[in-house]
Structure 1
Amino acid sequence: MTLRRSTAADSPVSHRSPLTDNHKRTNIDNKLVKFFARIPVESNRSAAKYLKIFSNSSVPAALVMLFVSPLEINKSCGKSSIKLFLNSCLALPMHQQNSCLPVVLEFCRLLRRACPDNKLYVSCRNTLGSMLDLVCKCDEFQLRLFTIGEEIYPCVTELADVMEKELLQNTGPSLSEVQKFSSFWQPLKRAITAQLPCVFPVDMPLRNTVLEAEIGKLYRIFGRLLTIMDICMTRIENMLDMRGVVNNTEAMSASWSQYLAILKIIDSMCELYQGAKEQVASLLNTRKASFSALVLKFAKRGDDHQWIFDYKEATTFESRRHLAMLLFPDVKEDYDEMHEMLIDRSNVFAESFEYISSATPGSLHSGLFMEFKNEEATGPGVLREWFYLVCQEIFNPRNALFLRSADDFRRFSPNPASKVDPLHLSYFEFTGRVIALALMHKVQVGVLFDRVFFTQLAHPEISLEDIKDTDRVMYNSCKQILEMDPAFFDSNAGLGLTFELETEELGKRETVELLPDGKSIAVNSENREQYVKLLIKQRFAASISQHVERFSKGFSDILSESVPTFFKRIYLEDFDGMLRGGENPISIDDWKAHTEYNGFKETDRQIDWFWKIMKKMTEEERRSVLFFWTSTKFIPVEGFRGLSSKLYIYRLHEANDRLPTSHTCFYRLCLPKYPTSALMEQRLRFIAQDHVSSSFGKW
């Protein structure tokens, strides 16, 4: 295929008819269409050789020369043909686009030299980025087809300049601008690491080769982006209130929507340079409030958030909880799609086990619709009560599924002795589903996990520090063994220790060897670290490995990703907050601030009596009243503002001496207009009894 360059002598534009102009353009376009139609499909190598003819024939140069011609006829013809070529490349299958890359790169280089500010060059660069983004994912993609410094780096620089300008103007780059930058940066990074697989010192600019020079320039781009993001995140902090919340959410959405994506690119860039990761961590730790606000607002389900967990210390509980909750499906509000359960209160554990264990994971993803037998109440309040009751049964010591931690009776871990029940592993899978469903429905069930149990859910390895709060005696013994003077330790024959562990289960004592013939292997200063590691593994991991595995399976049935992914996103303290809520005593002032009234006024004496009575009650009595009111004894870490709605006190227009009632789904407490404070206190203390506070809610 050959193209002859038109000249003014051929036919000036003023003497050329529209029909002739169109004929010329159509003729070249037809040749391009025929050229693409003949691209070999049998192999990429054949296609690459065929497309090389296009470049060797100087067609790209000829078309660019037409485009930059002062004659409008030539310019129009060149523009049409170049755009046709680019669109034809994008229409090819992915494996053939790989073969087109050298030609598109040549067009980019020629247009950049001739008219870098022209829209056609920008269009060509965008086409190149789209192709790179696609074919870079293909195993057959060969980055050696082009020169890194000449072809890719200029595009990265240009797009970085665009992003920096828009960031400084506080308009924020668009999604497409960030995607364009990423489409060039990712293959460039891949090419650099393939050719120079090492981490570069940030204070030693390399100039030995073109590639090394570009690596030095890239670091300056990294530094500029980091500095500008510091400015942007400072702006965010100036707009945050005391709770770390932005009031003007519209402005936030418009200008900040791509900040997380840019930070992700910066994190990717810092992987090339020594100490750069620490620079990013320093920025995010300094701007913790704004970073967490961005995560809460813009981290969406389905996005890749893995990079954020390298900077977990720079996030707040709320943002970590948000990232973890993104792994759960949305609870449906359509009752027809929910998994229905009809449970007898007298047989909560057994019937709940049947309903939950027999359900498919998909049916549970839509949510739960719960009723108790012979009761009319339904809705979220009843569901919250069921979660509380079934968890009370699961973690009840008489069921022998879980053990309380020796140092903290609030915490639980799997009981190795539960194997006496042939269904025990099925119960752990059931428990995993229940706990995950409680989290999905944002219900605090009042249960805390032991650190060792939590750690095993995140990863299989348990360290000595992990057992500190679980078994203080073993922790102190192991610390003593490891820290003892080696000479003294060996002179005392390793304290007479061998590689075995004595255990007691259901009153039966037995010895487990930590290594083959462990009873004959003495512990000494050289193998004591191995001894402690095996001791911890046997005592805390091996004995409950199946329990943890089945709990994880049940938990993962409700997640969109693996269980370790969920537990690596949060700390144990975060999980405490998600399962139990805040640990501080209930604040009456906070409770009152989030309560509204219907039929009463805040100044009515009955309302004044109510809050004074609440202040006189014990913590447990208050929680029982709260349970009667809302079907939950536990409030979120944020306090009452973390509940799904405000609480309400309604006036009950019936006899003024009757007991209160509640509509737990709507957080409504219904009080008669009691004539005296003493009568109100008597009635409230009656419902504050634990056995009474359950089952009083209507719906």
Structure 2
Amino acid sequence: MPLAETPIDCIQQGLDRLSSKRKFDDDDLSSELVSVRMRKDEPNAVNSSSTHQSLVGPRVSDTRSTICSSSSHSASIRPLSRLQFFVRTISKGTLVLHANSGDTVESVHKLVQSITGIPVTEQRLIYRGKQLMWEQSLDECSIENDAELQLVGRMRSSPHPQAWQVVDELVSLIFRLCKGEVATQCPNLVKSRLIKRLGEFLSITPRHDNELAVRHLQIFSSASAPAALVMLYLSPHEGKAAHDDPLYSLCRSTLGSMVEYDISRGSIIGDSSKPLVSVQEIFPFVRELAARLSNDLVSSMESPTSLGPSSCDVRDFSAFLFPLHTATTKQKMEEVLVLKEDKEGEHLRQRWSQYLAILKELKGLSKHYGDAEEQLWTKLKRRKVSLCYLILRYATQNDNHEWFLERKDVTDFESRRHLVMLMLPEVKDEYDELHEMLIDRSQLLTESFEYIARADPEKLRGGLFMEFKNEEATGPGVLREWFFLVCQAIFNPQNALFTACPEDRRRFFPNPASKVHPLHLEYFSFSGRVIALALMHKVQVGIVFDRVFFLQLAGAHISLEDIHDADPCLYKSCKKILEMDAEMIDSDALGLTFVHEVEELGSRKILELCSGGKSISVNSQNRGKYVDLLIKHRFVTSITKQVAHFAQGFADILCNSKLQNFFFKSLELEDLDWMLYGSETTISVEDWKAHTEYNGYRETDPQIIWFWKIVGGMSADKRKVLLFFWTSVKYLPVEGFGGLASRLCIYKTSEPHNRLPSSHTCFYQLSFPPYPSLAIMQDHLHIITQEHVGCSFGTW
């Protein structure tokens, strides 16, 4: 079933339907549910030494709030009295408070705030392991004279406390209902309380903020609300709702909507985020709905007056069945993926790999049968995660899998990256097949151009071997540094090849004035080859393309919104022209004609945007055409040759040069950003530590403890310099340290303590002696994290 609306909307519609069928008097609920007496076994005197418990209590999600209630027909009303009771805290000792038994818990919270200064919103009062609700009186919570309460606080790491509180109260009511601790004489009032809590949850859950709505639904799941609903309707107690009860249908549809929303986020399987609803919670509903739909189908065939299955049951069955099927398929696939390299495992792998070939044939056949092709894409989209597993596992260069990229909505970033990387050659392992380069750092761009631009593309496709003149090191680490340095030089605006976007200096597009360099077009071909080679060698170079450049490489049209980053001033001017009052622009107040003024080599030129453009005034009828022509001239016509040469250079490296346009068309701009730039998040020291091994050191050695303490105190830029010194990696892959070719290593040397750390970037190895103090290590690390240090691998 397609996702027609958000889960919140579905729940709200259900509540509206319930409200139209029955009215509950919530005000009467308080008279039906009164307090339960708690057994008093605490001593009257409180030893202050017992107060050393943490004020910061458990997370709200782990602390179940409890409704202290029972049937009013079995409880007697106590006379109001003056109470003395004790509140234990960690920082203020034990507080002795006085209040009337009719006072609310909230008033006690305010009294505590007046004494301790702790905000009311940060307080939780616990009595006999149960949290006291603000709206209840002390009498309703069975607080007796000399009782002992514990004050705990909400952890700061718990976001959305109101959502946690409402859901916890909902779950608590369900638990107590299933245990028979709340009144069952008036089940309608109990259901009213449940609906009220659902309503409160809806009122604080945003309708138009998907990210925040997801977090609220995750709270709903984390608090075990789905499991509680399942438990409620499987329980034998009278308080539960029958399967034909509207409340039951509402809660079941709520879970179904959550499941559908989960699928739309791609998290039911295969995603890093936890599914909102588990398969175990879904299965009881699938079983129940299957039985009901079977009975209804039989009835509809036997009796002409039967209405058959309800649309609500069919919709819910579809919502629950698909994730159950998908999760089962995933489990089977994972079992296949982990099979050992034995005959049976290889045989099963071959069978799974045939699915891609079968899907390709189905795609070809579907073109000849009406809307069959669209139906196939819809099916593949619903099975997106399983499809991506197959692509990542079995798609190889031996077969043509390009048809998957025709629709990006059936793939994710990892599978798209895998498929476009198949268009690039694999780097050869044999040294003899690598294209050798010996480059002088002082002539980096010029000599790199000679080695790459003048080379036979076939030689470049085998891979590169790189060495700097008069330096000792060779290998992958040197090659990674060369890629980084040469790309920084190519895209340096001072070289006039590319222009940086004013508001995002990472993004570039070809410079229309690049012809100041006589070899500028050859340099664009060279640039295309370098970028393709960087992708081929899986090196993040810290450079990304602007949208206008990316779209032209993909053969797509450029609109006004696409130039926002490349030329913010032109974007704003064009927007004003299009939004301006028609009478004003027709009055020729702007004095615009179909021309574009440009500056070339220090002089200004006026170019016509169309034939006779100088004599055509811009008015309300043709202003749209004027803006389109202006954008086309500024970002297409003026750089057509540069883009074409870059594209040809890029195509030279592809296995099939005809796929250049398709390569970029298959990706989102964000995909290419991640492939060229890598992760944009600050380097995580914890992730760094998790992917680092030690040789000669142990994790508990003082030098290692000092090292990570120093790194943790570094700025983001310093960490990048240290990482570059260590690995020749300046920009991490989007997966973080886990995306690198191997783990990092810290190696213990026997050199004197006055020696600086050294690195073997090819092996991701950092070496240093056991420095005698943190201060000495910090001084040495400070030296190697200067930008001008580590610019060579040692001279000879």
Contact 1:407–1:471 (8 Å) recurs in 2: no
Give the TM-score normalised by structure 1.
0.63
- Alpha-carbon deviations, 1:130-179, whole Å to 9, x = none? xxxxxxxxxxxxxxxxxxxxxxxxxxxxxxxxxxxxxxxxxxxxxxxxxx
Instruction: Check the 8 A contact 1:662/1:670 in 2, yes or no.
Output: yes
Could you tell me how far apart the structure 2 residues matched to 1:635 and 1:601 are?
26
| Alpha-carbon displacement from aligned partner over 1:471-505 (angstroms, at most 9, x marks no partner) | 223223333444556x5466434954322112223
2:437 pairs with 1:437: no
Matched with 1:396 is 492
Q: Unmatched 5+ residue regions in structure 2?
A: 1-320
| TM, length-normalised to structure 2 | 0.56
- Contact 1:661 1:698 survives alignment (8 Å): no
Counterparts of 1:24-63 in structure 2 under 5 Å? none
The runs of 5 or more residues in structure 1 that have no matched partner are 1-227
Q: Which residue in the other structure is 1:632 paired with?
A: 729
Tell me which residue corresponds to 2:624.
529
Counterpart position of 1:661? 758
Partner SS state of residue 789, structure 2: helix
Q: Tell me, in whole angstroms, the C-alpha distance in 2 between the residues paired with 1:579 and 1:340.
A: 23
Q: Which amino acid aligns with 2:451?
A: Y
Secondary structure of 1:410's partner? strand
Say which SS state the counterpart of residue 416 (structure 1) adopts. Answer: coil
Match of 2:643 among 532, 548, 556: 548
8 Å CA contact retained: 2:497, 2:514:
yes
Aligned pair partner of 1:579 in 661, 676, 696:
676
Deviations for 1:621-665, whole angstroms, at most 9, x for unmatched residues? 111111111111111001111111111111112213311111111
Instruction: Say yes or no: does 1:614 pair with 2:702.
Output: no
Question: What's the counterpart of residue 515 of structure 1?
Answer: 610
Choose the corresponding residue for 1:672, options 764, 769, 772. 769
Q: Report matched runs for 1:555-594 at 5 Å.
A: 555-561=650-656, 562-594=659-691
- Deviation of 1:238 after TM superposition, in Å, equals 3.6
The correspondence for 2:571, drawn from 475, 497, 500, is: 475
Aligned residue in 1 for 2:380: 284
**Cα distance in structure 1, aligned partners of 2:600 and 2:369:** 53
Structure 2 Cα separation of the partners of residues 482 and 449 of structure 1:
28
Kept in 2, the 8 Å contact 1:627–1:694? The answer is no
* 2:773 is aligned with 1:688: no
Higher normalized helix content (fraction of residues): 1
For 1:384, give the aligned amino acid: R
Tell me if structure 1 keeps the 8 A contact 2:500–2:509: yes
Per the alignment, in what secondary structure is the counterpart of residue 443 of structure 1?
Answer: coil
* Structure 1 residues 233 and 489: alpha-carbon distance in aligned structure 2, compared to 1, 3 A threshold: farther
Alignment partner, residue 330 of structure 2:
237
Is the counterpart of residue 319 in structure 1 residue 415 in structure 2? yes
The CA deviation string for residues 178-209 of structure 1, in whole angstroms up to 9 with x for no partner, is xxxxxxxxxxxxxxxxxxxxxxxxxxxxxxxx
Q: Secondary structure of the residue that 2:504 maps to in structure 1? A: coil
Specify the SS of the correspondent of 1:340: strand
Q: Distance between the aligned counterparts of 1:357 and 1:630, measured in 2?
A: 27
Q: Is the 1:661–1:697 Cα contact (8 Å) retained in structure 2?
A: no
Determine the structure 1 residue equivalent to 2:48: none
Instruction: Tell which deviates more after alignment, 293-302 or 487-496.
Output: 487-496
C-alpha deviation, 1:460, in angstroms: 5.4
> Which residue of the partner structure matches residue 450 of structure 2?
354
| Aligned-partner Cα distance in 1 for 2:728–2:738 | 17
Mapped to 2, the partners of 1:330 and 1:534 lie a distance apart of 42
Matches within 5 A, 1:60-459: 234-238=327-331, 247-248=338-339, 253-272=349-368, 275-459=371-555
> CA–CA distance in 2 between the matches of 1:593 and 1:236?
32
Aligned residue in 2 for 1:85: none
Task: Classify 1:611/1:680 alpha carbon distance in 2 versus 1 (closer, same or farther; 3 Å).
Answer: same
**Preserved contact between residue 412 and residue 449 of structure 1 (Cα < 8 Å):** yes
Q: Provide the C-alpha distance between the structure 1 equivalents of 2:655 and 2:429, rounded to a whole number of angstroms.
A: 19
| CA deviation after TM superposition for structure 1 residue 698, in Å | 9.8
Distance 1:689 1:259, change over 3 A: same
Q: Separation in 2 of the partners of 1:259 and 1:667? A: 39
The aligned residue for residue 7 of structure 1 is: none
Give distance in 2, aligned partners of 1:281 and 1:230.
18
Letter in 2 for 1:443: V
What SS does structure 1 have at the residue aligned with 2:694? Answer: strand
Paired residues of 1:628 and 1:696 also in contact (CA < 8 A): no
**Contact 1:629–1:697 under 8 Å retained in 2:** no
2:552 is aligned with what amino acid?
A: Q
Distance 1:231 1:268 in 2: 30
1:135 aligns with: none
1:503 aligns with 2:603: no
User: Structure 1's 694 and 456: CA in aligned 2 closer, same or farther, altered over 3 A?
Assistant: same
Name the aligned partner's letter for residue 616 of structure 1.
Answer: G
CA contact (8 A) 2:720 2:731 kept: yes
Cα displacement (A) at 1:283: 3.1
Matches of 1:348 and 1:368 in 2, distance apart? 16
Q: What is the distance in 2 between the residues matched to 1:232 and 1:378?
A: 52
Amino acid at match of 1:319: S
The aligned length equals: 470
1:494 touches 1:523 (CA, 8 Å); kept in 2?
A: no
* Whole-angstrom CA distance in 1 between matches of 2:589 and 2:609: 16
d(CA) in 2 for partners of 1:361, 1:249: 39
Inter-partner Cα distance in structure 1 for 2:736 and 2:329: 25
Q: Is the 8 A contact 1:649 1:668 kept in 2?
A: yes
2:721 and 2:785 in contact (8 A); partners too: yes
Question: Conserved in 1, the CA contact under 8 Å of 2:336 and 2:349?
Answer: no
- Call closer, same or farther: CA 1:460–1:569 in 2, change over 3 Å: closer
Q: 1:564 to 1:398 in 2, by over 3 A?
A: same
Judge conservation of contact 2:472–2:793 (CA < 8 Å) in 1: no
Report the secondary structure of 2:788's partner residue.
helix
After superposition, the Cα gap between the structure-2 partners of 1:229 and 1:330, relative to the gap in structure 1 and judged at 3 Å, is farther
C-alpha offsets along residues 12-68 of structure 1, whole Å, 9 cap, x if unaligned? xxxxxxxxxxxxxxxxxxxxxxxxxxxxxxxxxxxxxxxxxxxxxxxxxxxxxxxxx
Amino acid corresponding to residue 531 of structure 1 in structure 2: Y
Moved more, 515-524 or 599-608: 515-524
Mapped partners of 1:558, 1:466: distance in 2: 28
Is the 2:471–2:794 Cα contact (8 Å) retained in structure 1?
A: no
- Match of 1:693, SS state, is coil
Deviations 1:425-448 (A, max 9, x none): 111111111111111111111111
Q: For 2:653, what is the secondary structure of its paired residue? A: coil
| The 10-residue stretch of structure 1 (512-521 or 297-306) with the greater mean CA deviation from structure 2 | 297-306
TM-aligned CA distance change 1:488 to 1:248, over 3 Å:
farther
